[in-house]
Amino acid sequence: MDANLSMEQIRKDVKNVTELNQEGYDMDVISHKLDLSKDYVQTILTCAQGFTEDDTLAVAVLVEASL
């Protein structure tokens, strides 16, 4: 994982990862489709599971703190 990602990039990744996950794709497929590390995808999905609404900023803040 890259701890130097901007909040804007993390938020974009959160949006893309959660959308693909909602479409039924697993972590391996998501990481391949978006060219992201499996660990990073797992971190995003772990952080996102506590949010019922689409609050990408809140999830991005948690992801950034996890990097």
What the block records as the tokens of 67 is 């990097």
- State residue 24's pLDDT score: 97
Residue 31 is predicted with a pLDDT of 98
C-alpha to C-alpha distances, 28 to 33, 48, 55, 58, nearest whole angstrom: 9, 17, 24, 24
- Parse the chain into domains and list their residue ranges: 7-66
Q: Given this model, what pLDDT does residue 62 score?
A: 85
Cβ count within 10 A of residue 4 = 7
Taking the C-alpha atoms of residue 19 and residue 41, their distance in angstroms, rounded to an integer, is 12
Specify the residue for token string 């993390």: 10
Residues 3, 16, 44, 5: what is their CA dihedral angle, to the nearest 10 degrees? 10
- Name the stretches of the chain with pLDDT < 50: none
pTM: 0.84
